[in-house]
Each structure stands twice: as structure tokens, then as C-alpha cells.
């Protein structure tokens, strides 16, 4: 799926200018990157809200079109930071990072479980320890999800980062022994297992 948003250049900065923009349903933003000049921008609040719903997270490559720019008006960016008012739940500021397309970056990708675990059919509880996983890859290769097959997971079983299947050219980051998902045995069965081990 393609993710897109338009922005406009802003000449005024500072708290007063930012408050004025928010009254007009615009969100102050900045575009930056290792190979690009920093730009002060404004994006429509409603469009930003819709974009975040579409993306279901921030680790997605977004096509940013900047109005009023003649040279290179379309950029491929990542949303690096979104500031939201703690009480009014409105956007205060957003950062767009222009990622070099030929350089690998690290992003957090949501984990999605696939299949029905054997241990759950036996009465156990599936426990997702990590909801996202850090992945190192080129910006154009950011996966929408990391899929974890749990069909063979039995009572007391665990899948670690090391136990995940290869994700193509994408490198999974983190401690290999870190648990991603487990199946916890019911209380009674846990005590039975402990008793059996004690005999």
C-alpha cells in the first residue's frame, strides 16, 4: 500500500506561529535527513490523522509532496517523531526523516501471530511478549508485519528471536534469546508438571 501526504513550506517559526497554524488545523512539521537541507513545513491535521490510521504505526515509507518547492518536491520519508498534546489529544509537531534509499536503517515493525497453537488447544494461554521487533533493512524493503507461525507451539513452549524464520534481506535485531511469544500452561497442569519433575 502507498502512503502519501502533502505539506506546505512555512516561513514563520516559533510558538506564536505554531499556535496560529494549529488554529487553522495545520500541524507544524520539519523535514530533515543526512543528505537534505532542513525544511520547516505545515501539514493538514486531518490528513495526518488519517495517514496514521492507514499506517497502523510509524515504520512505513511515506511519499511526502512539498508544495511551493521547485527542486525535488517529492521525497520518501519516515515519520520519526509525533508530538501530541497530553490532554487535548491534538497534534503539536511532526518530524519527517528523509531516508537515503541506498542505506539500511533500523525500524520497529509490528509482530503478527499466525496459526492456532497446539498448547492453546490443550487449554494454555498464548502470551505475546514483544509487539514490535527491530528490523534492519533498506527503506524500500520495510515489511508491514513480521509474521510468527505459532501452530507447533505446545504448553510451556517459547519462540525466541533466534527461532524466527528468515525475513529475506531484512535483518532481525535484538538479543537472539529474547522470547517473542510463549504458551503458558494452565495452573493445574503447571503444578502437575512440577510434581512429576519432583518424583
Please report the pLDDT score of residue 188 as a whole number: 60
Spatial neighbors of 19 by CB under 8 A, at least 6 apart, are none
Q: What is the mean pLDDT of the chain?
A: 86
Map residue 73 onto helix, strand or coil: coil
Q: Is residue 85 located within the same domain as residue 113?
A: no
Spatial neighbors of 157 by CB under 8 A, at least 6 apart, are 117, 119, 182, 183
pLDDT digits (tens, 9 = 90+) for 53-105: 888 766 789 999 999 888 889 999 999 889 888 877 788 899 999 988 999 99
For residue 32, CA distances in Å to 74, 153, 165 come to: 13, 44, 35
Q: The whole model's pTM is what?
A: 0.76
Structural domain boundaries enclosing 77: 3-98
**The C-alpha cell of 79 is what?**
515519520
Please report the pLDDT score of residue 189 as a whole number: 56
Indicate if the pLDDT at residue 195 is higher than 50: no
C-alpha closest to that of 117 among 145, 147, 149 = 149
CB 108 within 8 A of CB 118: no
Query: Among residues 35, 65, 98, which one ends one of the domains?
Result: 98
Query: Band of the pLDDT at 166, cuts 50, 70, 90?
Result: low
Query: Among residues 98, 125, 154, which one ends one of the domains?
Result: 98
Q: Is residue 51 located within the same domain as residue 112?
A: no
Q: Is residue 124 located within the same domain as residue 65?
A: no
Indicate if the pLDDT at residue 45 is higher than 80: yes
Amino acid at each position: 500500500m502507498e502512503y502519501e501526504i502533502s505539506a506546505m513550506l512555512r516561513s514563520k517559526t516559533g510558538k506564536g506561529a505554531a499556535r496560529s497554524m494549529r488554529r487553522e488545523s495545520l500541524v507544524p512539521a520539519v523535514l530533515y535527513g543526512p543528505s537534505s537541507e532542513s525544511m520547516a513545513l505545515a501539514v493538514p491535521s486531518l490528513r495526518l490523522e488519517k495517514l496514521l490510521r492507514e499506517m497502523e504505526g510509524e515504520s512505513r515509507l511515506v511519499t511526502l509532496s512539498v508544495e511551493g518547492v521547485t527542486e525535488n518536491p517529492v521525497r520518501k520519508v519516515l515519520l520519526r517523531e509525533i508530538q501530541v498534546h497530553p490532554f487535548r489529544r491534538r497534534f503539536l509537531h511532526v518530524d519527517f526523516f528523509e531516508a537515503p534509499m541506498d542505506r539500511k536503517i533500523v525500524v520497529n515493525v509490528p509482530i503478527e501471530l499466525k496459526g492456532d497453537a497446539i498448547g492453546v488447544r490443550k487449554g494454555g494461554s498464548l502470551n505475546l511478549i514483544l509487539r514490535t521487533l527491530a528490523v534492519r533493512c533498506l527503506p524500500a524493503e520495510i515489511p508491514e508485519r513480521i509474521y510468527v507461525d505459532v501452530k507447533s507451539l505446545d504448553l510451556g513452549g517459547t519462540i525466541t528471536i533466534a527461532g524466527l524464520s528468515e525475513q529475506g534481506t531484512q535483518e532481525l535485531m535484538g538479543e537472539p534469546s529474547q522470547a517473542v511469544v510463549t504458551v503458558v500452561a494452565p495452573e493445574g497442569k503447571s503444578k502437575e508438571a512440577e510434581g512429576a519433575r519432583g518424583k
